[in-house]
Structure 1
Amino acid sequence: MAPPKPCCSIKTTSIKSPLKYALLLALGSAQADDQILQRVLVDGSRTNQLGVADAASAGTVTQEELAARTVYRPGEMLEAVPGLVVSQHSGEGKANQFYLRGFNLDHGTDLRTTVDGMPVNQRSHAHGQGWTDLNFLIPELAVRLDYKKGPYSAEEGDFASAGTASVVYANRLLQGVASVSAGQNGYGRALVANSVDAGNGSLLYAVEAMHNDGPFTRPDDYQKLNAVLRYSEGYANNGFNVSLMVYKADWNSTDQIPLRAVQDGQIGRNDTIDNTDGGKAHRYSLSGTWRRTAEDSASRVNAYIIANQLDLWSNFTYFMEDPVHGDQFAQPDKRVTSGLNASHSWHHHTGTGNSETTVGVQLQNDNIFNGLYNTQARKTLSVTRQDHIVESSAGLFLENNTRWDDAFRTVVGARFDSYRFNVQSDLAANSGKAYDHLVSPSLSLIYGPWRTAEVYANFGSGFHSNDARGTTITIDPKTGLAADKVTPLVRSRGMELGARSSWLPGLQTSLSVYRLDFDSELVYIGDAGATEAGPPSRRYGVEFSNYYKPLKWLSVDLDLAYARARSRGYQEVGSYIPGAIEGTGQLALTADDGGPYSASLKLRYFGPRPLIEDNSVRSRSSMTLNGRFGWKIRKDLALELEAFNITNRRDSAIDYYYESQLKGEVAAVADIHFHPIESRSLRATLVKNF
């Protein structure tokens, strides 16, 4: 199997050990020497980030760690990022909900997510800015998850203020895999994946088919077909790959339901109000990556073209707007996204250390057709708006990473982003063009004279883009009233102090305290099913992450996070931010001695949140316990058993507070609307390697 990532600045002639070199490639470290390698090579499956990471809140999750996780849906892979919570408020095919650092990130806003360098966030999306649909992920192909938090990296741009998550797929598989899964609630999955020699390189293929009904009265009937075909030559640091990915799905939605209807017995927890809600989606992509690493320089280029389409039908207010036909609406979105990322790095040694300078360019264009329709049972009644959007951006970044001596290093960077928005609306008054640009500097200071500890100070500026339609709007197409335009690019400013330590053998600990300001908060509007630009905001928080391997066969993960989120300036309705997460926690135990049996348990705590600006209505906390048991029947055959929500808690996956009107109600009622977590379920998977 080829190493998963090049180490762009390593002087390969100075590295004698293949093990050391492979570790450096896996880490993707910017700089490396034998002293760092000694700190990296530790017992356990988790990579020690001392001497590698530029912040206490940045890290890498290895393939071994990802494979050991119990996930109900593919997007939950991202919960390997400490402090990140992934949930769902609708059918399985819809993009997940994400929570991190005091944010309700809705379907991905302010969490930049990439897969093999391709952006997953969709700009100016019909349902929500930064829409992040990860249902096309195949977990078995992921070799690494890199994450960062805060706007401290010049390489990261739009949506990266709260954090980034980058999933890297394998170029080759050590061995082929075929698996069949079955479980309660109509769950079934089949996968086959393998690598074969082809020409001068390797051809990787993977095909996945899945079905899931969930525990709902009207089954989700989620049907997914997923495939990957990748050709690669050379190695991760000197080679190339070309990949084709195909994903198709359709489903019924079990959107959030009003608490009052459950309490008075009208419906059950697993019922729905409008049983015609649902969706269908597809994603096709063609991408390629080329890398070259010389003794003192490295180059990387990746390009992509992605065709996404979503047809989504939702009804969050039931009969409040239209007592006769109901309030269902459709949000179709069809787009082609193309882009190019290129960077070049120079590495040189100084008298007391070494330095690397990287310059890069990032280009992206989105050609989008989307709209908003009033519907009944998925049949169009009227058109609220239709738009053709062309959104183009160019980003340039420069970053220098210098190790001044054995104890001190710095990362200094800056990026320039320029955006062009061109909106052609069915309402001429809302058509037009808009332009914006930003300069975002960043600085990280890392001090570590000790062998087992480092301290960090990080400062930076980032941004998120707003929906292109908001940059040219003059008339609200739903009400006909005048509407204000939004700022195209909204600045964020962050700072963080942190520390990382491995003072006890087998223990890795990191602590970070941060502040993050936004000039304008993106707020999810529950009854409209979309995001809107809101007031400026400020967040303070602390994160505490631990990985402990007291015995060769036992590892313990403990991640705790707390955040305080408020709107800045006087707000008549209150300064709390609806849905802003306050506390999270994860405790995971994994036992694996390399023998035929292995087991793991994960407890996840998802704290209460304000649901309204004056904090008079709050959600309850949620807690789930998941488990996994593995049995290696023989060398090439294994059985895995997974259990979800073992204690069968009746908590919410998400809560909103807004007005809705049920059939028979004479007026709208303000109420909590929730989506329940899935009840206890079991799954069994038979895995055959070949």
Structure 2
Amino acid sequence: MSTSYRAARTSRASLRRSSLAAGFLAALHAAGTSHAAQEEAVLAPVTVSAAEEGGLGLKQAATTGSRLRLTPLETPASVDILPGETIRARGDATLIEAAARAPGITQSGTSGGGALAARGFAGNTSVMRLYDGTRMYVSGGTVSFPFDPWMAERMEVLRGPASVLYGEGAIGGAINTVPKKPQRGEIAHEARVAYGSDDTWRTAYGSGGAVDERWSYRFDLSRNRSDGYVDRGGSDTLAAAAAVRLDVSPAFNLTLSHDYGRLQPMRYFGVPLINGKLDSRLRETNYNVADARLQFRDNWTRLDLEWQAAEGVVVRNQLYRLNSRRDWRNAESYRYNANGSITRSSFLLIGYELEQVGNRLDSTWQGSVLGLPNELVLGFDVNRLRYYRDRNNGAAAETLDAFAFDPGNFPTKMTNAELFKTNTRTLSLFMEDKLKLAPRWSLVGGLRWDRIDVDRTGLRNASGPDFEKTFTHASGRLGAVFAVTPELSLYGQYATAADPLTGVVNTTAQQSQFDLSTGKQAELGVKQRFAGGKGEWSLATYWIRKEKLLVRDADNPNVFQQVGAQSSRGVELALAYAVTRSLRIDANGTVLNARYDDFNEVVGPALVSRTGRTPSGVPERTANLWLEWDFMRQWQAGLGARYVGPRYVDNGNAAKVNAYTVVDATLSWQLRRDLRLSLFGYNLFDRDYAQTTYSGNNQWVLGRPRSVEVAAHFTF
């Protein structure tokens, strides 16, 4: 991109931001003048009920940390609840961004749907993504749904192994998005429109309520588009959700839901470093091809049944089908050369489809055992996955001018790399029990057994030999909770877990010779509500070890052995406190030590031990802060900071990405009962930072620069 073009674009962007802010303030002044005389009659006072109730949700029933729907205060694990209203009020554009405000959770993925890191383990095969309590299987390393905060009633974050609840692939934690659902009550509507930097538009509509004494519904629609903060960085998303509930009787109800998502994120894979550093001239450069493609389509249908079969007995069933289609056509790797050119490579043309059909049934009993209060849930989950993948690559690398180049188009000739399909059948049996040993003591334990049958058929020779493989695994958790007071709990737990070597549906013939990786965790913690519920805090310390990593044999580097191990230990602290009726603070921080305990890899012709090194992409220090201040009647300001510590980008720890801190801010005015105006500012200090890395330390995927958005939210 030429210097003159860049200057013109920067000038236009600056003018748009200035005009936008000025127009917003003028609109506020005009609206305030016209409504000032009616303020006492029309406006409702700002409430701080959320602050009074505490911000960690310690006494809210959660579905993610336990199938018994225990509150976090009753659960021997680290569980956070992020209300959807809070996520939207802070201006988080995606659910990945929202989850990264929870203790110890950081973003680790690129444009391909995004991924998270937790407790020293990164990627979608270690930090599981759930929707309404049902897992979404990883295919091609990617999970793309859900993505839009507008659809979320809340987000629940379980940190630490979750295999006992959801199966393999959750040694670091599980993130569950609970969507908005049909509710009893009068029909209500809401709408939102926003505009911001880089010609960003966001529009959304939602409606829900009771049609009559038996029928209720919920409908949501959201569309977001932007030109993006890099050249040819356009993005476009569409999300829709519809649900209808039938209350057959007070004890029996059915809910039919369908969700659709079309995600077209920025077709951007970062910029190369020059002499190991980021050159500011490349800040807006996109070295991908002009006709790049990155598109995900997801359809999710569910039929839920809930039946109060008898006093203390509840039966729940979910029949579900998920279909995902994903398409790539990109040049993803770029290397800077000493002569001022760029070598562009990794031309990938990938298309695949995943169909996930299943049924989960569980039943909960409340009763007694040996005269002691007891709650027990038993259930099973059975599903079938059909996966079809076509991958082409092998086009020759290209050399381009680093600062003035023609992006060109995707190559017309490619090498057929692989074409295969897999059929995967999973049967899972699970149970969980809470036994109250004494008024203050409770034991919470769980067991799960999984059988996974994978049948892979190669449709091209390069796809490798056909095979069939059966994985079986049992996992468990045993924890104790001591209620020092009704508002203060101490807990401890020991849990086991399993991770796939890669996504189960992507298992190769070589990997089929091995077992799932296994893990175990010990955790101690304390949780408390104080000041009459105005404040909540939690502290957790943990140790996790993951074993059966693939390690190259010291005598023959071409042979793998499944003897490797890595571990992490750390401390997590979270606090939410309403200092006054108008001032609230939410803060959390994490310190951990992650390392390889036994790991070898081939570097050139030699085998090198990485034992004692820190896994790549894992920050060992993170922190989040958010302040809310109701500084005037109907006015609220917010200020947030996100800190991510240094991350190594290679297993040898030879290079790392520096730490960064990003500061965001919000300003909101409840103009009328039915209208709220908001101003959002992102990355206020315009910090250049690597949200993640690509191709080792040679390529940084930069985060969003300084930008602003204005929004209006209507209720009617």
Class of the TM-score when normalised by the shorter of the 2 chains: 0.7 to 0.9
Q: Alignment partner of 2:113: what SS?
A: coil
2:685 matches 1:647: yes
2:633 matches 1:611: no
2:179 matches 1:169: yes
Partner of 1:271: 285
Q: 1:281-292 residue pairs with structure 2 within 5 A?
A: 281-292=296-307
| Cα gap change, 1:72 to 1:209, in 2 (>3 Å) | closer
Of the structure 1 ranges 310-319 and 597-606, higher mean CA displacement relative to structure 2 is found in 310-319
Q: Deviations over 1:146-170 (max 9, x none)?
A: 2222226732212222111212122
Q: What amino acid sits opposite 1:444 in the alignment? A: G
2:702 matches 1:676: yes
| Cα gap change, 1:607 to 1:263, in 2 (>3 Å) | closer
**Cα distance in 2 between the residues matched to 1:23 and 1:539:** 26
Partner of 1:510: 538
Selected match of 1:554 from 583, 601, 612: 583
| Cα gap change, 1:237 to 1:249, in 2 (>3 Å) | farther
Q: Alignment partner of 1:66: what SS?
A: helix
Q: Tell whether the 8 Å contact from 1:562 to 1:582 is kept in structure 2 after alignment.
A: yes
Selected match of 2:373 from 345, 354, 363: 354
Of the structure 1 ranges 191-200 and 417-426, higher mean CA displacement relative to structure 2 is found in 191-200
Q: Tell whether the 8 Å contact from 1:467 to 1:488 is kept in structure 2 after alignment.
A: no
**Cα distance in 2 between the residues matched to 1:298 and 1:169:** 22
2:416 matches 1:383: yes
Q: Deviations over 1:510-566 (max 9, x none)?
A: 11111111124599xxxxxxxx99942111111111111121222211111122111
Q: Deviations over 1:72-120 (max 9, x none)?
A: 3332222353221236533xxx311312112232xx2211221123323
Of the structure 1 ranges 256-265 and 541-550, higher mean CA displacement relative to structure 2 is found in 256-265
Q: Tell whether the 8 Å contact from 1:280 to 1:310 is kept in structure 2 after alignment.
A: yes
Selected match of 1:568 from 576, 589, 597: 597
Q: 1:132-151 residue pairs with structure 2 within 5 A?
A: 132-134=143-145, 136-151=146-161
**Cα distance in 2 between the residues matched to 1:522 and 1:166:** 29
Partner of 2:118: 100
2:275 matches 1:254: no
Consecutive unaligned residues in structure 2, runs of 5 or more: 1-56, 337-341, 396-408, 552-560, 601-607
Selected match of 1:434 from 455, 469, 479: 469
**Cα distance in 2 between the residues matched to 1:152 and 1:536:** 19
**Cα distance in 2 between the residues matched to 1:329 and 1:212:** 25
Q: Tell whether the 8 Å contact from 2:68 to 2:376 is kept in structure 1 after alignment.
A: no
Q: What amino acid sits opposite 1:587 in the alignment? A: L
2:253 matches 1:243: no
Partner of 1:208: 222
Selected match of 1:89 from 94, 110, 126: 110
**Cα distance in 1 between the residues matched to 2:481 and 2:262:** 45
Selected match of 2:168 from 158, 166, 172: 158
Q: Deviations over 1:582-631 (max 9, x none)?
A: 11100111124895212211100011012222322111012111111111
Partner of 2:323: 307
How many residues align? The count is 611
Selected match of 1:599 from 629, 637, 642: 637
Partner of 1:18: none
Partner of 2:484: 449
TM-score by length of 2: 0.79
| Cα gap change, 1:88 to 1:324, in 2 (>3 Å) | closer
| Cα gap change, 1:313 to 1:361, in 2 (>3 Å) | same
Partner of 1:336: 355
Of the structure 1 ranges 465-474 and 557-566, higher mean CA displacement relative to structure 2 is found in 465-474
Q: Alignment partner of 2:656: what SS?
A: coil
Selected match of 1:117 from 133, 154, 174: 133
TM-score by length of 1: 0.82
**Cα distance in 2 between the residues matched to 1:264 and 1:76:** 23
Q: What amino acid sits opposite 1:290 in the alignment? A: L
**Cα distance in 2 between the residues matched to 1:264 and 1:23:** 43
Q: Deviations over 1:313-352 (max 9, x none)?
A: 33333489xx999431122221111111110011014687
| Cα gap change, 1:30 to 1:221, in 2 (>3 Å) | closer
Partner of 1:187: 200
Partner of 2:23: none
| Alpha-carbon offset, residue 254 of structure 1 | 1.4
Q: What amino acid sits opposite 1:226 in the alignment? A: A
| Alpha-carbon offset, residue 507 of structure 1 | 2.8
Consecutive unaligned residues in structure 1, runs of 5 or more: 1-21, 37-47, 475-483, 524-531, 659-670
Q: What amino acid sits opposite 1:229 in the alignment? A: A
| Alpha-carbon offset, residue 143 of structure 1 | 2.0
| Cα gap change, 1:486 to 1:498, in 2 (>3 Å) | farther
| Alpha-carbon offset, residue 645 of structure 1 | 0.3
Q: What amino acid sits opposite 2:380 in the alignment? A: V
| Cα gap change, 1:183 to 1:109, in 2 (>3 Å) | same
**Cα distance in 2 between the residues matched to 1:357 and 1:628:** 45
Selected match of 1:371 from 390, 400, 421: 390
| Alpha-carbon offset, residue 205 of structure 1 | 1.5
Q: Tell whether the 8 Å contact from 2:567 to 2:597 is kept in structure 1 after alignment.
A: yes
**Cα distance in 1 between the residues matched to 2:174 and 2:595:** 22
Q: Tell whether the 8 Å contact from 1:285 to 1:304 is kept in structure 2 after alignment.
A: yes
Partner of 1:423: 456
Q: Alignment partner of 1:316: what SS?
A: strand
Q: Tell whether the 8 Å contact from 1:177 to 1:689 is kept in structure 2 after alignment.
A: yes
Q: Alignment partner of 1:568: what SS?
A: strand
Q: Alignment partner of 1:65: what SS?
A: helix
Q: What amino acid sits opposite 2:711 in the alignment? A: T
| Cα gap change, 1:500 to 1:250, in 2 (>3 Å) | closer
**Cα distance in 2 between the residues matched to 1:264 and 1:24:** 46
| Structure (1/2) with the larger helix percentage | 2
Partner of 2:9: none
Partner of 1:463: 498
Q: 1:407-418 residue pairs with structure 2 within 5 A?
A: 407-418=440-451
| Cα gap change, 1:63 to 1:522, in 2 (>3 Å) | farther
| Cα gap change, 1:471 to 1:225, in 2 (>3 Å) | closer
| Cα gap change, 1:287 to 1:152, in 2 (>3 Å) | closer
**Cα distance in 2 between the residues matched to 1:329 and 1:456:** 48
Q: Alignment partner of 1:154: what SS?
A: helix
**Cα distance in 1 between the residues matched to 2:438 and 2:257:** 41
Q: Deviations over 1:167-220 (max 9, x none)?
A: 2122236621111111011210111111254463112212211101221022x2
| Alpha-carbon offset, residue 452 of structure 1 | 3.7
Q: What amino acid sits opposite 1:161 in the alignment? A: I
Q: Alignment partner of 1:433: what SS?
A: strand
Q: Alignment partner of 1:85: what SS?
A: strand
Q: What amino acid sits opposite 2:470 in the alignment? A: Y
| Cα gap change, 1:563 to 1:23, in 2 (>3 Å) | closer
Q: Which structure is larger by alpha-carbon Rg, 1 or 2?
A: 2
**Cα distance in 2 between the residues matched to 1:239 and 1:332:** 39
Q: Tell whether the 8 Å contact from 2:271 to 2:334 is kept in structure 1 after alignment.
A: no
Q: What amino acid sits opposite 1:241 in the alignment? A: T
Q: What amino acid sits opposite 1:412 in the alignment? A: G
**Cα distance in 2 between the residues matched to 1:74 and 1:213:** 20
